[in-house]
Amino acid sequence: MRYDLSGQWEIRLPDGRVKKDGFLPGSLDENKVGDPDRVAKAWHPDIEDRSGEDTEFSDIDSRITTRLTRNYTYEGPAEFSRVFDGEVREGKRYYLHIERTRAASAFVDGRKAPCTAYGLSTPTVFDLTGLLHKGSVIKLVTDNTYPGMPYRDITFSSAATDETQTNWNGAIGEIFVEEKDACRI
């Protein structure tokens, strides 16, 4: 059995400047969270106008046509929380599946869930068995600074550049809790 978790989630940034309702699957960009992506605050500083001179075009938010232009940018951890309203049965195991996310961790009622499968290009899976019950708060923390991973190798690859798919943050694929038998092959 699957419990679909797509829909409304509470979004928080650790610096406290954002706490709002949003949705998953989705990115922070789609949820209008982060800093406006303007030429003066370009994601890749190599395309900024470094002359320092004010011109008649200084205040224009010109879009950059050589890359994907985001509405909002944010780099760092982001928290997504919601209440689990499914039934939890004895003798079953429960796994949280998240597709298309960045570095991620999951918590149930404040307790960290062990990760059983992880990859930037494969679904991330957390074992919620023994932690989850009806009414539990599931918190997903995604982080596009890739703690413990080679940041520059990732952000300058096709997985995260603004010329390909951007260094978005969130979970943009399926997200669900799967119930499985305790004994299975």
89 torsion bin: left (phi>0), alpha (psi -120 to 50), beta (else): beta
pLDDT attached to residue 114: 97
Residue-wise pLDDT for 93-131, tens only, equals 999 999 999 899 999 999 999 999 887 788 999 999 999
pLDDT attached to residue 33: 93
Is the pLDDT confidence value at 146 over 80? yes
Q: Work out the number of other CB atoms within 10 angstroms of the CB of residue 31.
A: 21
Residue ranges and CATH numbers for the domains of the chain are: 2-47+65-181 (2.60.120.260)
**Model pTM score:** 0.82
% of the chain at pLDDT higher than 90: 52
Residue for token pair 């307790």: 111
Residue-wise pLDDT for 18-55, tens only, equals 889 999 999 999 999 998 876 554 444 444 444 455 55
Joined together, the tokens standing for residue 113 give 């869930």
- Across the range 45-69, mean pLDDT stands at 55
